[in-house]
Chains A and B, each alone.
Chain A
């Protein structure tokens, strides 16, 4: 009974966004608090659906998923062990108590390569089960160097496993309108919601992904060795909801993003290296707003990207002074 209740609530979780330390993390509301969802029981035990699709056998899918798990598991100072339990005839559906990754033919989702669903404990945020399907409507490949016209299983699995681990979407990417949809020009996060074109690989988490994962699973070493920037994004004196704020370290080239997730425009960007950062705010106009934040919120897209006038100094293990990034209407 408890499990069924948590499963029913889980369906709405994907758009719940905890305003914690940076990134978009998936979360659950408990009273007035938003708690990020996370795994507490390790290793994460998962099954792979025993179903081949054109170009990819079930064992090849399992290898790609294991490799993607290992990639996330290699993030420094993070421990998220996983274990492949076995193949199953069960489809990747929520509520059966099994974490399953597999192909499903979903012609109704003709723009969705893959999706992740959860069953969680709505009080603690602990993930009890998570399922990932890759849409066999598309052509897939596990070729080491990619295969023209086919999506790379490991790249997409890496993205979906990021969700499984509790990460939402990153907005560190640029797109263009193309063929009735959006095409990625560049992205600096595997958690960007739009995949590279078929045939290309995206198998390495970037600074933004690593900061997000470390924020959920990192320990004291992560928090004591990194710092954060907090502040507000304002337009004509009022807060801007839904701005994407990037902190860029010119010394290392690392970029990490955060979001203003409240009406007063408040944001936090965490997981930053100590040192001076360039801060840039931009509207969420490189994808569907709903893929980043709750689209029922009055997200403001009517402002020009802006560079903050100061180099912001991030201390080790602490937060920079509050800043106000002023933007102007388009």
Chain B
């Protein structure tokens, strides 16, 4: 009976003060930065007798505005410092095309569409220290899916992310969490296909079992 008590005491001392359980779930809000969406101008072949450059019926400039969304996470502490977690994120943003220099002065200067973004993935987190404030670094990858507002245009791709953050222990089970990092995505609903790296900031609440 006595040896068992000693072992239990040692385990308690070696674990972080807040790490009563290996499981944690959380939810929060996320902000993802916008980006230039690329795109071409509406050009007509010039009658060479009237000029040399193509005739611009109208120009375009397109960008995807920052997205605001929600995230949910479920984590498992492999060790007191090392955590793996699964995540799901949803965000909505606007793809906006500005019409420039319409040849005939058309009314209306913008056209837009709402883009919904879903990310399902996982991360590995390493926590430093074990106090009330616990900083961490993280990295991971995910599956990316975007849909326009009618669900008719869709892209799927992958994303990798990295960054860091901090946890603040409010109580025995409740924690606040803030993340900042970047998400590099190989696809997007846009007019130019290329990998884009976007800033991501998130904040939320976690529950440690």
Q: State the A residues within 8 Å of B (CB).
A: 172-174, 176, 183-188, 196-197, 199-200, 202, 206, 246, 248, 250-253, 255, 274-276, 278-280, 282, 304-311, 313-315, 318, 320-321, 327-328
Q: Are B191 and A313 in contact (CB under 8 A)?
A: no
Chain B nearest CB from A209 CB (Å) reads 12
Q: Are A250 and B107 in contact (CB under 8 A)?
A: no
Chain A nearest CB from B108 CB (Å) reads 3
* Chain B residue at minimum C-beta to C-beta distance from A278: B111
Q: Are B107 and A311 in contact (CB under 8 A)?
A: no
- Stretch from B70-78, B94-102, B117-125, B136-144 forming part of the interface with A: B94-102
Q: Are B102 and A197 in contact (CB under 8 A)?
A: no
List residues of chain A with CB within 8 A of the CB of B62: 250
Q: Are A307 and B49 in contact (CB under 8 A)?
A: no
A176 to B103, CA, bound (A): 12
Chain B nearest CB from A246 CB (Å) reads 8
* B14 CB-CB contact with A under 8 Å: no
List residues of chain A with CB within 8 A of the CB of B49: 183, 196-197, 199-200
Q: Are A278 and B42 in contact (CB under 8 A)?
A: yes
Number of interface residues of B (CB under 8 A): 44
Q: Are B50 and A309 in contact (CB under 8 A)?
A: no
B38-69 CB contacts (< 8 Å) to partner A: 38-51, 54-55, 57-58, 60, 62
For A184, A246, A320, A328, the residue with the greatest tally of chain B CB atoms inside 10 Å of its CB is A184
List residues of chain B with CB within 8 A of the CB of A202: 45
List residues of chain A with CB within 8 A of the CB of B40: 250-253
Contacts known (A251-B191, A313-B152, A320-B150); A305 close to B105, Cβ less than 8 A: yes
A231 to B105, CA, bound (A): 22
Contacts known (A185-B50, A199-B49, A315-B153); A280 close to B112, Cβ less than 8 A: no
List residues of chain B with CB within 8 A of the CB of A274: 153
21 A-B pairs whose Cβ atoms sit less than 8 Å apart in the complex? A172-B44, A183-B49, A185-B51, A186-B54, A188-B45, A197-B47, A200-B48, A253-B40, A253-B41, A280-B57, A280-B102, A304-B106, A305-B105, A306-B108, A307-B108, A307-B109, A307-B111, A313-B150, A313-B152, A318-B152, A327-B107
